[in-house]
A and B are shown apart, each in its own frame.
Chain A
Amino acid sequence: MALQRCDVEKIAHLARLGLDEGDLPRITDALNSILGLVDQMQAVDTSGIEPLAHPLEASQRLRADVVTERNQREAYQAVAPATQDGLYLVPKVIE
């Protein structure tokens, strides 16, 4: 079940990637090649095997819900493309 061009367009939309129309055939071929490799997994019998998410099977540590950071908004916004009054600017969302 190889991916078609329309599948790739859908995936690119889900990933919010703007692709050039002209690149779509090449990208479709590359993704099908990678998925061909990945599909070798389906031949492996994994019945009764629990999935492993963390190599040491550690769970995430929790910390007390208290403020630990000082405010560094100006430092962090210095690298932003567009800000105003401490807010990030984006194109108008609501007319």
Chain B
Amino acid sequence: MHQLTLAEIARGLADKSFSSEELTRALLARIQQLDPQLNSFISVTEELALGQARAADARRAAGETGALLGAPIAHKDLFCTQGVRTSCGSRMLDNFEAPYDATVVARLAEAGMVTLGKTNMDEFAMGSANESSHYGPVKNPWNLEHVPGGSSGGSAAAVAARLLPAATGTDTGGSIRQPAALTNLTGLKPTYGRVSRWGMIAYASSLDQGGPMARTAEDCALLLQAMAGFDAKDSTSIDEPVADYSADLNASLQGLRIGLPKEYFGAGLDPRIAELVQASVKELEKLGAVVKEISLPNMQHAIPAYYVIAPAEASSNLSRFDGVRFGHRCDNPKDLTDLYKRSRGEGFGTEVQRRIMVGTYALSAGYYDAYYLQAQKIRRLIKNDFMAAFNDVDLILGPTTPNPAWKLGAKNSDPVAAYLEDVYTITANLAGLPGLSMPAGFVEGLPVGVQLLAPYFQEGRLLNVAHRYQQVTDWHTRAPNGF
């Protein structure tokens, strides 16, 4: 049962091959048996899951239908889940039981989804390897000595290992697409504002966006359908109609114009990945796509600009963790300043402290123009590059990452080395564009992802192209040995 995709589960539940409770019990047993190798869950919510599964079975018995009714899901541990620990991968929130559900959690629960647990992640979503979690690193099921990517590394590892068919993630600089690429999944970062951020613990508010991670584009379409849409509680939510993503999956690719940015194929890219990306392009050409080279000349400036904007916003967002209203509080504070400083010093890990300090510095008097304002100007240059490119092409394609998953600990000594792995994904966050990573082959047994980027609100196009590609290839169906 664990091999089933969401679409297959929907059919199995509809024709009564199994009940949601049976499926839920089978997957909970699998998590218990296999997750100790991976560490992909921070909390397993067995009681909640069984209650939701029984409720879903009752709803179905009463005549209700729905593709997600009774299907399992896990949430990245930064989506607030009422009555369940929502740790954000941090000691700071180890004792935090959210008093309410995030909009994403509430919408998927309304659709009848069964929450199996909360997945491991880089602390406060700051990382690309899932090694900064307070709960320990996550292992990549394709090779347990390698990282699964981050920051949604727990969601990625759990779905790749067939512990469950799908999970939620969030993407601030690539945190859905990069771990999806490194674990052979399909992951989608929607347009900024497409999915509500309410109840999603903020890292960098102008970049953060939640989205689905699953094994197929078809499953991502089912999830996004339930996740997307206007939410009055999120002041940055965009009031645009939501497309019918599943209906568009099989649209023809005849005449689709795909741009290959030459900057994505330059120095730093593993040539074996370049070859696999070119092979995926050939497949899409066979399906009718037309390919041309394009240029995104400001791409190289994206990482420096990101490492000002994201830390600046983080330093502001994380000021709420003060040891007063919720979260970690130090023992025996001698005064209020001591309470703040020791609670935050003890509660935050190394990478979070670094980014808070970079942000504090960049926003401090005398440095604002040189850092924050300059970064925002570069942000516009990057957006302008995309707008110009989308005059000529419908879609942009390239590698998701420059390298396959690296060994645990390999990039821990220098924070900048890990930052550079996000070179291809960060631009979509700065410009607010939707992006998808899909499986495209293997290098030394480790998965490789291809990234597709589309104009604003064209998530349906991304899912359509990935789905058509997945109809003529089988990379996405490969499972890691032992899982």
Contacts and interface: CB of A to CB of B under 8 A. Distances in A.
Contacts of B317: none
A91 B304 contact: no
B377 A37 contact: no
A60 interface: yes
Interface centre among B315, B342, B358, B371 (most CB of A within 10 A): B358
B360 interface: yes
B303 to A, nearest CB: 7
Interface string B354-383: 101110111010000011011111111101
A27 B375 CA distance: 23
A49 B377 contact: yes
Contacts of A40: 301, 304
A6 interface: no
Size class of A's contact patch?
35 or more
B360 A11 contact: yes
Contacts of B298: 44
B43 interface: no
B235 A60 contact: yes
B331 to A, nearest CB: 10
Main secondary structure of the interface of B (DSSP, over half): helix
Contacts of B225: none
Interface in B380-406: 380-381, 383
A78 to B, nearest CB: 7
A3 B354 CA distance: 13
Interface residues of B, number: 73
Interface in A1-58: 3, 8, 11-20, 27, 30-31, 33-42, 44, 46, 49-56, 58
Given A31-B357, A55-B192, A79 B97 contact: yes
Contact of B377 (A46, A72, A93): A46
A63 B336 CA distance: 35
A34 B358 contact: yes
Contacts of B323: 81
Contacts of A20: 345
Interface string B99-110: 110000000000
Given A56-B456, A90-B324, A91-B338, A41 B360 contact: no
Q: Find the residue from A52, A55, A58, A60 having the highest chain B CB count within 10 A.
A: A55
Nearest to B363: A14
Interface centre among B191, B360, B414 (most CB of A within 10 A): B360
B345 A19 contact: yes
Contact of A52 (B232, B383, B416): B383
B149 to A, nearest CB: 20
Contacts of B96: 79
Nearest to B341: A18
A20 to B, nearest CB: 8
B332 to A, nearest CB: 9
Interface string B224-244: 000000001001101000000
A39 B307 CA distance: 10
A44 B374 contact: yes
A46 B381 contact: yes
Interface string B328-347: 01000111111111101110
B301 A76 contact: no
B380 A58 contact: no
Interface of B: 95-97, 99-100, 191-193, 206, 232, 235-236, 238, 298, 301, 303-305, 307-308, 315, 319, 322-327, 329, 333-342, 344-346, 348, 353-354, 356-358, 360-362, 364, 370-371, 373-381, 383, 414-416, 419, 430-433, 456
Given A36-B416, A79-B326, 6 more contacts: A16-B344, A17-B357, A46-B374, A72-B99, A81-B324, A93-B336
29 contacts: A14-B360, A15-B344, A17-B348, A17-B356, A18-B342, A18-B346, A27-B354, A34-B354, A34-B416, A37-B419, A38-B304, A38-B362, A41-B371, A44-B298, A44-B374, A51-B380, A52-B379, A55-B430, A56-B193, A56-B456, A60-B235, A61-B235, A63-B232, A75-B99, A79-B99, A81-B327, A88-B324, A90-B339, A91-B336
